[in-house]
């Protein structure tokens, strides 16, 4: 098959022919494609290959396979890859996968998931469609969503807790939130670096400088990077790391180190920047910079907010800075 199919044709071809690449003992009950809303209104095409007697089938997102196809990978190779991926879910334990990945009956029991619940912070306005069936709470212009965290080897999977699932658990938002902030230090350790250090490392990684002195960042007399206290914080996976703002254990520690007079700059849903107030001359100008960066650099689905925040250390939540 030559690489001449557009994406619509590719989807149809995969759906019509994938059965040919499944083993003889795989009794395929149904193959179909459905749109899945992942987060922040990101909708992807998922291929489902259902086996007779199986309780679930994994989402197989076709966009990534089409990208490989468009880059020249043969269709037959992709079909085999998809089939192999599907087969590994028939017996998840045998290939080191957490059985919760493809076992909805296990997910239905609160005892199985309560120690795996984590939180994400996303922009509320940009995520209205995604949030329609989700369990969430509002924090200013942000939405806190709750997810079941599953790790198998180097891979991490999450599944969002819907309102229906929350009712099945006989729980509520407050308990979900309490469990999330309790679990996250163990499941998603904090990651942080000084902004000046990151800038210097980035310049050297690009080969534009060999030493910190050549990067142009300010140094101490001892030759160390003399940062101004501005920190970039995220989680260890650097994925939806803005949620570290919700964990009292993290923020209390940072407050002791950096001081409690700080601004929160929403870099993206994946990370935020903490900057001492003494380093900011004009909050309104900082807001303008955030809006400009969001529009020119950050993809819409990854934008956290256009606002500047302070931090309420009593209630452990970010608060929009409304200073003029």
> Across-strand partners of 261?
none
Residues 145 and 262 in one domain: no
Question: Which residue would you say has higher pLDDT here, 41 or 114?
Answer: 114
Distance CA 60, CA 81 (A): 11
Tell me, yes or no, whether 310 and 215 share the same domain. Answer: yes
Task: Give the model confidence (pLDDT) of 185-234 as tens digits.
Answer: 999 899 888 776 666 666 666 666 666 665 556 655 555 555 667 888 89
Helix, strand, coil percentages (3-state) for the chain, rounded to 5, are 40, 25, 30
pLDDT value of position 150: 77
Q: Is residue 129 part of a domain?
A: yes
Residues 210 and 245 in one domain: yes
Domains identified in the chain, total number? 3
The predicted model scores a pTM of 0.69
17-71 pLDDT tens trace: 999 999 888 888 788 887 665 554 456 788 888 887 665 567 788 888 888 888 8
Domain identity same for 13 and 123: no
What are 273-293's pLDDT values in tens digits? 998 888 888 889 989 999 999
Residue 258 lies in a domain: yes
User: Does residue 179 share a domain with residue 194?
Assistant: no
Of the candidates 203, 208, 254, which has an alpha carbon nearest to the alpha carbon of residue 232? 254
Domain match, 229 and 301 both: yes
What per-residue confidence (pLDDT) applies to 290? 92
């Amino acid at each position: 098959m030559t690489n001449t199919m557009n994406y619509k044709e590719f989807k149809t071809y995969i759906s019509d022919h994938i059965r040919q690449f499944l083993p003889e003992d795989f009794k395929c009950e149904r193959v179909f494609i459905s749109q899945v809303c992942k987060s922040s209104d990101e909708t992807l095409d998922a291929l489902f290959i259902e086996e007779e007697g199986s309780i679930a089938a994994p989402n197989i997102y076709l966009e990534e396979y089409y990208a490989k196809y468009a880059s020249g990978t043969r269709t037959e190779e992709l079909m085999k890859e998809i089939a192999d991926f599907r087969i590994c879910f028939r017996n998840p334990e045998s290939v080191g996968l957490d059985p919760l990945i493809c076992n909805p009956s296990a997910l239905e029991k609160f005892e199985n998931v309560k120690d795996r619940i984590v939180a994400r912070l996303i922009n509320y306005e940009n995520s209205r469609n995604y949030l329609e069936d989700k369990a969430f709470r509002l924090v200013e212009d942000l939405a806190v969503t709750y997810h079941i965290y599953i790790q198998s080897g180097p891979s991490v999977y999450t599944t969002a807790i819907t309102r229906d699932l929350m009712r099945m658990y006989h729980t509520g938002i407050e308990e979900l939130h309490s469990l999330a902030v309790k679990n996250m230090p163990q499941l998603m350790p904090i990651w942080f670096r000084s902004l000046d250090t990151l800038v210097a490392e980035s310049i050297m990684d690009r080969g534009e400088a060999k030493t910190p002195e050549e990067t142009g960042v300010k140094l101490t007399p001892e030759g160390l990077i003399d940062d101004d206290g501005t920190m970039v914080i995220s989680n260890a996976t650097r994925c939806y790391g803005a949620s570290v703002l919700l964990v009292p254990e993290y923020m209390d520690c940072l407050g002791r180190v950096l001081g409690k007079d700080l601004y929160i700059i929403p870099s993206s849903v994946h990370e935020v920047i903490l900057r001492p107030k003494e380093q900011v001359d004009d909050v309104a100008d900082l807001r303008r910079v955030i809006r400009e960066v969001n529009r020119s650099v950050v993809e819409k689905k990854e934008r956290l907010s256009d606002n500047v925040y302070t931090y309420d250390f009593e209630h452990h939540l970010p608060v929009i800075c409304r200073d003029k």
